[in-house]
A and B are shown apart, each in its own frame.
Chain A
Amino acid sequence: QQQVKQSPQSLIVQKGGIPIINCAYENTAFDYFPWYQQFPGKGPALLIAIRPDVSEKKEGRFTISFNKSAKQFSLHIMDSQPGDSATYFCAATSQSNFGNEKLTFGTGTRLTIIP
């Protein structure tokens, strides 16, 4: 059962453009929503994360928008660069799991930024 749905599967954007990756979740117990960036041959690395008590969070060129009522959240990358080309995963977890903050991941979006 996929609890976090992610789209699109792949995305090609020209340098300077704003790629947007969308995720939707089902489990209302989720209370922490991180985004991970993964380069080939590497493990995922935390990029930015948000809690459901805010609707937007910005860190540098990365912004998360969160819609609690729709159970959706998205990642925007401003002024995208070729170095941003990677696979991006949204994830969700709950702190009510008695310390087990296991992550439920989306299926990933392969982003390519062309010069």
Chain B
Amino acid sequence: DTGVSQNPRHKITKRGQNVTFRCDPISEHNRLYWYRQTLGQGPEFLTYFQNEAQLEKSRLLSDRFSAERPKGSFSTLEIQRTEQGDSAMYLCASSLAAIFWGYPFPEAFFGQGTRLTVV
């Protein structure tokens, strides 16, 4: 399977615990995105990496959230001191930068997500 892989698929944790999710993008993709999707809503942008550099973080990403992409390959998203409001599906997407502006537009490929439930 050469798609975007996310682990674990499901995570149940007690409030206050730390959790870490992993995303393995498509191998040649240099861009990696994290999104959060709550029930009945569309995914919301959290953060973005170009290779190993984290270039943008959403205001949704509180200080309890940290993401890394060492060596520009896989990425991890850690949530410290989880709260019930963190319960959501966390989606990872990757894309390959366009050769030149405008065309072709870099398609984002999504993984199946990690569903987090904080009890």
Whether A91 lies near B42 (C-beta < 8 A) is: yes
Contacts of B25 in A (CB 8 A): none
Interface range, A side: 20 to 34
Contact flags B19-58 to A (C-beta < 8 A → 1, else 0): 0000000000001010100001111110010100001100
Chain B interface residue number, banded: 20 to 34
Asked if A105 contacts B48 (CB within 8 A), the reply is no
| Residue in chain A with minimal CB distance to B33 | A102
Stretch of B64-72, B75-83, B102-110 with 4 or more beta carbons under 8 angstroms from chain A:
B102-110
Q: Which residue of A lies closest to B10 (CB)?
A: A41
Residues of chain B within 8 A of A36, CB atoms compared = 110
Interfacial residues of chain A within 84-98, with CB under 8 A of chain B in the complex? 89, 91, 95
Q: Does B116 contact A (CB under 8 A)?
A: no
Q: How far is the CA of A43 from the CA of B114 in the complex (A)?
A: 10
B-contact bits for A59-99, CB 8 A (1 contact / 0 none)? 00000000000000000000000000000010100010001
A-B pairs, top 7 by smallest CB distance, nearest first, are A105-B42, A43-B110, A102-B45, A89-B42, A43-B112, A100-B48, A44-B110
- Expressed in whole angstroms, the minimum distance between the Cβ of B11 and any Cβ of chain A is 15
Name the A residues within 8 Å of B48 (CB-CB).
100, 102
Asked if residues B42 and A108 are in contact (CB atoms below 8 Å), the reply is yes
Residues of chain B lying within 8 A (CB to CB) of residue A22? none
User: By the criterion CB–CB under 8 Å, are A99 and B50 in contact?
Assistant: yes
How distant is B26 from chain A, measured CB to nearest CB, in Å? Answer: 13
Which partner residue on chain A sits nearest B102 by CB separation?
A95
Q: Nearest residue in B to A49 (C-beta to C-beta)?
A: B105
Are A103 and B45 in contact, CB atoms less than 8 angstroms apart? yes
